[in-house]
Every structure is written in structure tokens, then in C-alpha cells.
Structure 1
């Protein structure tokens, strides 16, 4: 098999497949040709008779090519052919043994039954193709008819219907013509009453035309008279109608009146053999009256077609009944076509055309190879000997073609020195695209071939040239088919038949697009709460517009544009909603503190894009301001930390020396008092410096927490117990409200103690003496909430946010101890451990709320 993997082998297999397919089709065509000549029929004489008749066409071509002279008498007499030529048409109606009919003949015997008889029309433009062979694949004897007929247009003088043959006929140019079935359609129409029937007839433009034709052909009873037949009475009273008067007069014809005329006359309607006196309404053609077809067939109607368009209103009132002349009409073969409702086109022979009947039959002996009958005899023997060769060749070539095709499909995609499937430009094309391209190409090739067949038929191209063109077309169609097969084989071998298609890619793209649209829809509904109301209003308006359009007089021109407008409106509306949703989502994110949120400007309308750009600029501005504030805070913190460290060193020396002085024996009471002040103030300063350093660490996140499980009830009780003496000294009563069971949270035990210590210290320092302080511990929505409430001894004319800032104290006189860092430190520590601390001020009521996530016991 690997020998077939080379490019040369693949090309040979493709060529072999094409050649064998061509041989198969050609053999089938030859078999069909032989069958058309009845070679494979049970009647052995039928094929011979057909071949001899075909030879007769060659004799006719040779003879009639010299129809102006002697019909090539000198050439035909040397052949084994008796022939004769008759001037006329329709050989079936003439006696071939009547010698008076012949323009020329070279026999005296009776014409045999199997003689060739053919009708030919010859004019000056007729072309003759002459050959020495009666069956020549590159030529052959042919008579090419050119302009044997021409079309003429005549006015219609009457139209009628024959219910026996069910055909329409027109009377024009003094003759009857059968109307082509393409020009009319018989139907039956019923009407509510005679008035509606009359309106339908009179609304038909064709009926108006044919009514005028009837009126124009009707004889005038006043002006037209016919002689009296011998024996008629000379005293007869007739009613003569005057077209200009509604009155009727009676005249008596007597001998005296007849003396004024050379002959006596009767009214014209009495002269028409088929026209009764009591009925003068009908179609008059020459001397015959035809009644309307509606008198014979109830509710008869007919639609006529002119240039492909039908008469909207049915007609029938002025269609004549031609059943009385059925036998005459049945002999008419020529068809006419309506050019307009009042004119008809009829094909007539070219006036310069000569019609001939050619008769020929073979002599007793066959002489010479140039004799057509001798060639026909040889061809009959050849065909009989080889009639089974071509079917066998068709079968064998079909099998070989299939074998080459299978080997080609197996070899395609492989290479000699590679086990992998190689893909060339054919395999890279999408499978379904290649298929449809192949179908379209095959259709184009077939259309070209069909056009060539029609051209060859009109130009009488030779059989050999026809086979050559057919071979080229077959090779082209096979090449396209093999390329498609190669594409199919490669993609099947690579197991990507479906995935390597445009339909699959389109499906994947559509799926991704739908997923994107779904996500966009979710974003729209999430950010725009009134989305459903918008679409509901749109649907309601669309339904109202639909009914308004449907009630309009003519919606054919409006409806398509309305549908396109609605589709475009839906696309634009959805785009606007999605753009607005992106802007709102970013605004919401910025409001929530996500300063990295940005609006995607891709595909956004200009007027919304301007708002989106402004939104992005707001985020950038907030980031800049935040960076500046963070930088400032960091610098302040670093300053505090550095200064605190710098102050701490000399302060330590001061404290140590004050302590040394306190150990000395100093008798001066004033000096001892001064040392006490120095000791207290240095201790206070040390506490301030430690708080500053701790506040700096807490705010910058430089504290390392040891998170552990803490019993909130126990820790809070311990904190309150530490401050019991100070609370009693300040005459403050603590009222607690703790749950009976234990509550746990996760935090750093040391720093949570510091938070409680700062809040309790705040109560001791700033609570009004002789009041109660309330400390609660509760569970709220999965949270552990600590509430610290007390009444301030000083006015709290300050906001909770200000009170949370560093160095801000509720005692504006700064009379009490404290540095204003306690609450700030407590807040920073709480937030660093994952909790929250908030303040609430209501008059003199101060409230601090600390919250942490509750830790379940199983955790």
C-alpha cells in the first residue's frame, strides 16, 4: 500500500478513475444509442430497418442540396438507391405510387412499405452538411432548417370554446386557430345573484373587448336584406327596428312595393342558416351565429393569460359555443398565442419555403463503399457483432473506476516516509464549505454542459466533437469530485470530520456569543431594576403598532420596513441598557470602596462613553486623593514613631534620675513636692509615648496577632473586675447583661483585653458620677456584640467620627487625664482582628459598640 503513497501514484489513480468513469459512461451512451435503434430488441429486422431509414436521410440531404437544379441526379444515379421527390407536405395523405406527383424519380416500380419517406422544408437560408459517410462521428449528412416559420399578429374577430374537445379557439384573419392552453384556464364561478354576476362580467376588461367584437360583427337588420325565395308571400308584414328610435313600425310589403325594387328582400337574420328569428344575440362569424357558452354551461368562467398575467375578473358572457363546428375544429393543428386580449400571434411558414416529400429505397444490389445503403449494411453487421462488447466494457470500466477511487481514498493524506496524516491546502478547507463549493462548481459545469448540448443541437455539431466536449466535461466534474473526496478522506482520517466544518465553528461561536449575551443580560438585570418594565412597554407598543399596521389599507410596503425597524430598535435598546448597566456597576463599585473599578468603553455609544470616561476619571481622582492621604498618614505615623523613639530615650533617663532622687534623703519638702510632680508627669509622658507607638503600629498593621478562641463572657467580666475600684471611686455603678451560656469569638486575647481596657478607662474618666454604666453582650445575626453605654459628665457637642480621631477628647477643657488616643487605638486593634468598633452619641449618652463574628463551639 505504501507504494501508492507517492504523489505520482495518487495522480495516476485519479486519472485512471476519471478515464474508466468516462469509458463507462461512453459505453452506456453507445448502448443507449443502439437501443434507440432497437439493436437489443427481439425484432432483429427493426435495427436493420432503422439503419436503412437513417441512410435515407443522407440520400435526402444529398438530393435536396441541389433542389434548384436536378437534385444531384448525376451523383445519386451511381448509388444503390431508388429515389423520388414530391413537391408538398404531409406524406401520409398522398399516394406515393402516383407518378404525376413526382418532380423527379428514377424508378418505375411500386414503392415498398419499408421505403424511407421524409418531409422537408427548404428555403434560401437552409444549410446542408454533406459527407461521404452516412454515420460520421465528425460530421454526417444534415439539413439545418433556418427560418422556416415566422410569427404574425392578427386581430381577434371572435373567441369561443368547444365543450366537446374542451379547447379554446379564436377566429382571426378569416381562419380558426386553436388557442394554446398556456393562454387560458377554465374554471367555474358561482355568484350570490345575477347583479353580482353582471358586475363581475362587466368589470372584466377582456369581456368589454369581446363584447365590442360581438357588436361589431352583428349584422344590421335595417340595412341588410336578402332576395325572397320563389314561392314566398309578397304580402308580409315585418318589424323593422330603428336604432335611433325606441318605437317599432309595421310595414306591409305588397306588389306595389315590389315594383319599386328589382327583387324582394327579407331581414338579414332570416338569411343566417343557424340564427333563429327570436334570438339575435350571439357571435356572428361570416354567415353563422354562435350562442354564448353560458347558455350551455351554467356558471362557466375562464381566465385568460397575456404575457404571464391573468385576467382578474372571470369572463364567459362573450365566449361563443363552438360545439356546432366541432368536426371542423378538430382538424386544426396550428396553435395560436395571445399577444393581447384582442390580438393573437400565429406561426406561419416562411413564404420562400419549399416543401418536399423525399422517397427512397435500396436497389437489389449494393455497389461501392461510398453508397450509403452499403455502409448501413456494413454497420448493421458490425453492430450485431459488437453489441455485447459495450455493456461488458461499461461494467468492467465501472469496477475499475471504483477500485481506483477506493485506492485513491486510501492513499490520500499519507506519505511514504511519514506515519502521520499530512494536510495540504485541500484538507485545510472546511469540510462543509468544500462540499457546497463542489456542488456549486458541479452545477456550473453541468449548466455549461447543458448549454453546450443545446448549442450542439442547434448547430448540429458532429458526434466526434460532441464526445470530445463530453469527455472534457466529465474530466472536469470528476476532478472536482476527487478533490472533494480527498478533503473528506483527510478529515475523516484525522477524526475531525465534524469539528473541521464551518457549521461547527459557527455553532461554537454562536454558543460563546449566547453565553456572552446571557452574562450581559444578567448584568443588565442586576444593575437596572426596571429592565423588565422597559421590555414590557416595548412589547406592548409593538403589539399596538402591529394591529394598527394590519388595519391599514396596504401593508405590503410598510410591514418589511416595520419589522426591520423593530429588530434594529431591539439591538440598539439592548446596547444602551448594557452600556448603562456597566456605568452603574462601576459607580456602585466605587461607592462601595473598590477604587480599581473601571468602565469598559468597548462598543459604547458616544454620549454614554463620555459619562463612562468621567466615571473612570472620578476613580482615578479618588485614587490620587487616597494615595495622597495615605502618604500623609504614613508620614505622620512615621513622624510620630520616630519622634516617640527619640523622646523615649531622654525620658527614660529623666525617669531613672527622678527615681534616684526619690531614693535620696531630701529634707526640703518643696523639693520632694517637685520630685512628685516630675515623677507623675514623666510617667504620663511615658504612657503617651507608648500609646503613640501602639497607635502607629495598629494603624499601619505592623502588629502581629495571635488569633485564638476566646470566651467573650469571661474576658469581659475580667475587664470589668479590673476597674471595680476605680468605678467605685468615681461613684459609677455598672449594670451588666450577659447570656447564661458561653459565647466564643476568634481574636488575640491580649489586644482584645486592651480594647476592653480602653473602653472601660473611657467610662471611668468621662462618666458622670452617681450614674449607671451599662455593659451588654448579645448574639445578633451570627455576630458577638459588646455594648458600652454611659452618661458623659461633660457636654458631647462633637460627632462620633471626630471623637474617633487621634488626640480628640470629649473633655475639651482637657482637665482630665488622657491623651485622646484610647478610642482610636481600640478601633484600629478591633478592625485589625476582623471586628468593628462604632460610636453613637445621643445628647450626653455615649455608646460604644464592638462586634466580632461568633465562633461556633464545633469550630
Structure 2
């Protein structure tokens, strides 16, 4: 289950789907908030989500306060001529009595400028009773009897004795402030009644807005959860691919970290600009066209702006995921300009520290004669030069601005400069001599690496690297002795194998002869089976002795090579023709791809025949039954390669070098025929003929390749003799 989920989560289609979900969720969240807010005219706010009844809302409380203030201000307006505070305000500011000045007075002293105009059709009915100069007055837009009738079904609010109350239980009532000042009316009571029809209509609007906002809230919550899940998921799987554990980066991540940060920041600013521009455009549409007329245009603009927000958000998310991949593969700091600059400064500081430490600290060279000598020479040179040039500068200043001692100063000035030059020459000579010794030492090491062990490095007795050169000569002599000992041991081994193989041939030939005689005798079936088995085993032993003998001669360099010009295609066809019976009995299918044009090489025909025979025989022995064996011939301008490829019948737990060792077999159980010499003989014969032999193993595929340089075909003497002579002119 874990593997299936890992494969599904790292699939490219899953990542693209979550990417699209994230940017679409962002666009839906923004557009939902803007559309719902402006569709309600921003007059309700978010209260419809929290409050179910309109009459219990803060919107209704605010309306009550505004309506009560309107009634109060209307009373103040009617009695403004008897209001001493207002009259004093006019005299103090040298103003005339006007509605505009009274509004300003109300705004300053009563902190409100809401009025009931005489021509305004108010949606509520009111009655106000107050005392002014000892007289009781009443104003309103209905009578007391009408008010009582409407109060039976509507919602009433009464302000009496400084307290605001309602005729319905559970309906909240706000606190109404009625500031009192000299000459202001004293309110006995203020009553407002809202008809039930108006309340019902307001409740319908409230329910519609509540439904819209709840839907938008659920949409916002759903999109937010999807957005958060998609973001966390993308951050977790970004850079991960199916079948790979380590995170990887893409071409976009090769940009500098600062470039990606600037690109992401710019995209965020562009997102904010689009949202602000949409907000301003929505406000303009609502102000000039109203809620109903602007809704279609707002929807169209929301679609266009949402598309733009989604596109810009995609850029932001790409930058965020790129930064996450950089953190996963630990290149966030290394791929930044600031990080690179800091690393450069740090390396510079370390270099300066190391330089000054190496200049004045000789502790690390105390055990090394050569390095210690160079260090002392360097230290003497640097300090001496600093001292001499300091004295030179002082003397130069004395000579130019001194008090009559110019000639003496100039003499010492030239003396210091001369000493500085001598010190420089001494340092340069020692440095050049040290470089020469190091160069000779390196050349000797290169000669040893190339196998030239005859020469010895001789340095002067006073040379700094004299002891090192002698140690190197001792190492060189030891290596040469070891090589000579190995060569002698190998020759002894080859001679032993050759002699043993030669000594085995005579008795083995006698055994085979007697077996041939027994096969011609009249024997019963059981005895004949035994003789046949003896014949098979003796033939195998004979082939093994012959292989060992040939390999020993080739390795020792005693093998005779008769080079001639050979056509590769014909040699391959001849080899396969001679092995046709064995190929047909093997239950393997051969796929042979040879070049049509003739390709010529130089080599010993018998030995190359043996090379191809061993390769095909090796493929027949160790390939899986029923599989195909491929023989292919390819050519480059200078070389021709013949390859034999097969599928192994066992697990190949060896390397290319191990399988080419003598008596090494890929079949560890040794259930197949073979002596482990076929490939070794093929390699030796190919190399002694001037070619190259190589092995490649890929899973269960085993491929042997023989490569030879291509030569031009020599003219046939018979053909050249039969050519007609050129005509003389």
C-alpha cells in the first residue's frame, strides 16, 4: 500500500492536479469574498453569518440609534431659535441662522448629523414629546391612536426617562445619548414604530444575505482546506520522482535564489494589485450603477480577474516549490548570489590566514628539511626586504627634506637599494635551485610510473632533496627486483606447464590409440558404453592439454604468428560452417549481422579461427536454452569489431576481469563442459595477432568483442599479371 501511494503521489499527473487545485482555490477564495461583499452593498458586513434574526442584529441597533437621533435633531432644528447654545454659537462665529450652520452645530455638539427632512418619506412612524421654556410640545408623523394601532403588529421602541425599551421581549435595545445644554429641549418621550411589512421585507433580505454569506463561507472554508492540503502535498513531493528516493531539481531551479525570490515577490505584489484594482472597480460600479445593474458586470470582471489571479498565483507557487526543492537538495544557500559572495569572502579570509600563517609560522615545517629550508629563506627575504625598503624610504625623505645631510643620506639610500637587490638575487637563486631539484624528482617519478626503472637520480651533496632522491632510488631498486622475481617465477611456471603438457601428450596418445582399438573389437553393450565414455573423456583431456599448451606458448612469447591478410566475413562464415552440426544440436537460434562489403585485417588465420570458434563455443555452452545468440560485425573508418552476445543460463556473479583469468568459469557449479581456458586463449590469440579483446556484462547479457585495425586490400599477383599493359603514346 505504501509503495502504491508513493508511486501515485510522485506521479506527474498527481502533481499537476494538486497544482491546479491550489491556484483555482486561491482564485475562488478571493472572488467569493469580493462578490459576496459587494453584492450585499457592504451594508450588512459579516453579521448575517452570526445572527439569524434581523431585529436582533447590530444593523437594526444602528438603525434605531440613527432614527432616534434623527427625531432628536429634528426637534433641535425646530427649536433652534430658542436654543441659547445655538444662538451663542452663531454670535461667537459671526454666522447667520441657516440649515447648513445648524447641521454643523449639531455635528460639533451632538456628534451626529442625521436629520429627518420635511420631504423625506421615512420607513417608520414616530412621536416625540418634549418641554421647551416650560411648554410641552409634540411632533410626529402619526397620531397617538395610529401609533397604538401599529404597535400591535409592529416593532416599537420608546425612550422615556433616559431609558430605551422595546415592546418585544428578547429584542436588544441600545443606549441613546441625549446631551443636555442650556436652552436645549427636555424630552419627555420619543417613540418609534416599525410596521410589520417593513420588518418582514428586511428579514427576507437578511435571510437572502445570510444564505449567500453562509454559502460563500462554506466555499471559502472548502477552498481553504483544499488549498492548504494541496500546498502541503506539493511541498512534500516536489522534486521526488517515481522510483527515486533522492530529490532532484529542474532547469528552473538553476536560477539564482535571489532571482526566484524577486520573481515570487513581484508576482505577490501583482496579485495584490489585481485584487485592489478589482475592489476599486467594484466600488465604482456599485456607486454609479447600483447593486442590481452592476451584478452582471461584476461577475464578468470577477471571471477575468480570477483568471489573472490564478495565473499570477501559479508563478508564486512555482517559485515557492523551487525554493523548497533547493532546500531539499541543500543548494538554497550555495545557489544564491549572497551565499556565493559570503563563501568567496570566507575563502579569501582563510586564504589570507593561511598565507600569513605560512609566511611567519615555521612549526609545521620543523620535521621536513626541504620545506624548513625554503621557509627560512622566504622569511629572511620578506623581513629583509621590508626592513631595507623602510630604511630606503626614510633615507629618501631625509635626503629630500633633511637639514644639510643630503649627500650622506643619498649614499646610504643607494647602499640599501644595492643590499635589497643582493637579497633578491640570493632568494631567486635558492628558489630556482629548489625548483630544479623538485623538477628532477618529479621526472624520476614519471619515469617509474611509465615502467622505466633503469636510471637513477643523482643529486649534488649539498642539494636539499639529496636524502629524498636516495630514498626514491632505493624504492626504484626494490620495485625492479620484485618485477624481475615475478618474471622469473612466471617463466618457471610456464615452463613447468609446457613440460607437463608435453609429457602428458605421449601417454595420452597411447590411451586414445588403445581406446580406438577397443572400439573396433566385438564387445557387449555394457562394455561398449564404458569404452565410449572413455573415448569422450580422453578427447576432452586431449583438448584440455592442447589448450594449456597453446596458452603457455602464447603467454611465454614463443608462439609462432604467421600474419596474412584475412577477410573477416569469410573467416566468420567458415568458422560457423565448421560448427554447423553443433549449432543445430544446441537448441539455440543465431542472429548473424555481417557487413556486405569485404573488410580486411592482418593476423594469423589459424589463431583467429580459434578465437571465433572459442567465442561461439562459449556462447553455446553457457547460454540459456531456447534463447537467441547474436553475432554482429560493425566497422568504423579505422577498425572492425566482431561481437558475440548471449543470455546467460545462470546468474553471473563475476566481473569482466575475473572471467578472463585462467581456469575461471562463470558456472560455479561446473555442471557444464569446459575448462575455463576458452576466453583466456581467445584473448591471448587476439592480442598476439595485433587486436583487442573486451568483455561487457549487463545483467544477464554477456557480450564478447574482438577488435582489429582495418587494412587496405593487397593487389592479387595473378590479377596484376593478367592486366593489359598500358598503351604508349
TM-score, normalized by the shorter chain, greater than 0.5? no
Q: Which has the higher strand share?
A: 1
TMscore range, shorter length: 0.3 to 0.5
Tell me which of the two structures has the higher relative contact order, counting C-alpha pairs closer than 8 angstroms and 6 or more residues apart.
Answer: 1
* TM-score, scaled to structure 1: 0.34
Q: Which has the higher helix share?
A: 2
Larger Rg: 1
